Amino acid sequence: MEDFGVKTLSETIGTLIRLRYLGLRNNYIQEIPHSFRGLEKLEVLDIAQNFMVELPDIINEMSSLRYLYMSDVIHRKPLKVDVLQNLERLSYISIYDWRYEVSSLEKMSSLFELDIEEVDENSDVNKLFASVAMFERLVTSVNSNSRLPSAINTCLEEDPMLVLQGIPSLSTIRMRNAYIGRQMVFGKDSFSELCVLCINEMWNLSDIRFNGATSLKELEIKNCPFLYTLPKEIESMLLLKKLKIVTTNRIAKEMRKSSLFSNILEVDISP
């Protein structure tokens, strides 16, 4: 029932005890019925893009959930997503609802994809990164207060790569206005599975060093006015197929003269 303009849901939905997939995305639903706790076989629940939908304290009873999609959710009690041991994807959960206790995180051993929203200047992002680093299967961690393409928008003073490199299976990083330092370093033998890297609005960044991230396939750098030259390690990135740079006219002109990306299939440097 996606894109149907639905405003209310009947309590009788809870009688569909064998239901495995329920898509309610992009409607006008204001409240999820309490009867949803009866959907014990439900594996996929998508209630995203229902502005300010109220979710009762039932998530912890939906033990078969593997994929949970939600955004702008209102709830009177903390979401107990840590009891969902079969959960593989969680998108989105507020950083204020995320559980940092080791005992809670250990229960979510199946989680491989996590999207977090409402990250702001008051968020303890280092603590967040340290917690997600515990998930060995985690493929993508998107921490954002915006929609995809997602970004970490946090203005950190410390290079975030120091913590993110502790997530062994990270495949995608999209960062916007996330770091106010001058140097960003991808440590040796780190980010071995990183395929996509997007860096945007790093206003002080002047140096990127790729000692790791050798599996990178797509690199996008936008609005970094002090990054005058491309990282020299790009030349040795044999898997890199797509490079996009958005910078000043003067820097773009100089970068086009570089021979570092002669083997890259798709190169876009603008303006």
pLDDT tens for the chain, residues 1 to 271: 999 999 999 999 999 999 999 999 999 999 999 999 999 999 999 999 998 899 999 998 999 999 999 988 888 888 889 899 999 999 888 888 888 888 888 889 899 888 887 776 677 777 887 788 778 777 654 444 343 334 455 677 888 888 788 777 788 888 888 889 999 999 998 999 899 999 999 999 999 999 989 999 999 999 999 999 999 999 999 999 999 999 999 999 999 999 898 889 999 999 8
Q: Are the CB atoms for 75 and 95 separated by under 8 Å?
A: no
Q: Pick the closest to residue 167 from 136, 211, 189, 126 (CA basis).
A: 136
67-69 and 89-94 beta bridge pairing: parallel
Model pLDDT, residue 189? 87
Q: Cβ contacts of residue 159 below 8 Å, gap of 6+?
A: 179, 181, 183, 184, 185
The total number of residues shown for the chain amounts to 271
Superfamily of domain 11-270, CATH level 4: Ribonuclease Inhibitor (3.80.10.10)
C-alpha to C-alpha distances, 29 to 50, 85, 146, nearest whole angstrom: 6, 27, 21
Distance between CA atoms of 40 and 45, rounded to whole angstroms? 12
Sign of CA dihedral 178, 179, 184, 187: negative
Q: Pick the closest to residue 242 from 215, 271, 220 (CA basis).
A: 220
Distance between CA atoms of 7 and 238, rounded to whole angstroms? 51
Q: Which residue shows structure tokens 């140097």?
A: 183
Count of CB atoms situated within 10 Å of the CB of 37: 15
Model pLDDT, residue 244? 96
Q: What is the pTM of this model?
A: 0.65
Burial bucket for residue 16 (CB in 10 Å: 0-12, 13-18, 19+) = middle
Q: Domain ranges in the chain?
A: 11-270
Q: Are the CB atoms for 97 and 117 separated by under 8 Å?
A: no
Model pLDDT, residue 173? 87
Model pLDDT, residue 204? 94
